Structure 1
Amino acid sequence: MRVINCIILDDEPMAVALLSKYVDKIQNLNLVKATTNPFEVLEFTNNNSVDVIFIDIQMPELTGIQLMEMLGNKTKFVITSAYSEYALQGYEHNVIDYLLKPVSFDRFYKAVVKVQEVFKEQAFTNVMTAEEKSEDFLFVKTDGKLIKINLNDLQFVEGLKDYLYLHLKNEKLIVLDTLKDFELKLPNNFMRVHKSYIVRLDQIESIERNRIFIQNKIIPVGDTYKTKFQDWVKSFI
Structure 2
Amino acid sequence: METKTIYKCLIVDDETLARILIRTHLLQIPELEVVQECSSAIEADLYLKTHQVDLLFLDIQMQHLSGIDFLKSLENPPKVIFTTAYSEFALDGYELNVVDYLLKPITFERFYKAAHKALELLNLENDNKEAAEATFIDKSIVIKSSHQHIKILLTDILFIEGLHKYVKIVTEKKNYTTLIPLSAMEEELSNQLFYRCHRSFIVNLSKVELIDGNQAIIGTHKIPISKLNKQEFLAKLGKKIG
What TM-score do you get using the length of structure 1 for normalisation? 0.56
1:10 aligns with one of 7, 10, 13:
13
Q: How far apart, in 1, do the equivalents of 2:12 and 2:73 lie?
A: 15
In the alignment, does 2:124 pair up with 1:121? yes
**Percent of pairs with identical residues:** 33
How far has the Cα of 1:227 moved from its partner?
A: 10
3-state secondary structure, aligned to 1:22: helix
Q: CA RMSD of the aligned region, Å? A: 2.9
Question: Aligned residues, how many?
Answer: 154
The equivalent residue for 2:69 is 66
The verdict on how the C-alpha distance between 1:190 and 1:104 changes in structure 2, with shifts beyond 3 A counting, is same
Structure 1 residues 79 and 190: CA distance shift in structure 2, 3 A? same
Structure 1: which 5+ residue stretches go unaligned?
Answer: 137-184, 194-220, 229-237
Unaligned runs of 5+ in 2: 140-189, 199-225, 234-242
Letter in 2 for 1:31: V
Question: Structure 1 pair 133/33, CA: closer, same or farther in 2 (3 Å)?
Answer: same
The aligned counterpart of 2:83 is: 80
User: Aligned residue for 1:53?
Assistant: 56
Letter in 1 for 2:11: I
- Corresponding residue for 1:178? none
Over 3 Å counting, the alpha-carbon distance change for 1:186 and 1:68 in structure 2 is same
> Contact 1:72 / 1:93 at 8 angstroms: preserved in 2?
no
Alignment of 1:1-237 (within 5 A): 1-132=4-135, 186-188=191-193, 191=196, 223-225=228-230
Larger radius of gyration: 2
Separation in structure 2 between the aligned mates of residue 49 and residue 61 of structure 1, nearest angstrom: 24
Hey, what's the Cα distance between the residues in 1 that align with 2:95 and 2:232?
33
Residue type of the partner of 2:228?
A: D
- 1:226 to 1:5, Cα distance in 2 relative to 1, 3 A: closer
1:98-148 CA-to-partner distances (Å, cap 9, x unmatched) read 111111011111111111111111012113323555899xxxxxxxxxxxx
CA contact (8 A) 1:9 1:36 kept: yes
Question: 2:49·2:231 contact (CA, 8 Å) conserved in 1?
Answer: no
Runs of 4+ in 1 over 2 A off after TM superposition: 91-94, 127-136, 185-193, 224-228
Shift in CA distance, 223/23, structure 1 to aligned 2, threshold 3 Å: same
Q: CA deviation at 1:53?
A: 1.0
Q: What TM-score, normalized to structure 2?
A: 0.55
Cα contact 1:73–1:94 (8 A) shared by 2: no
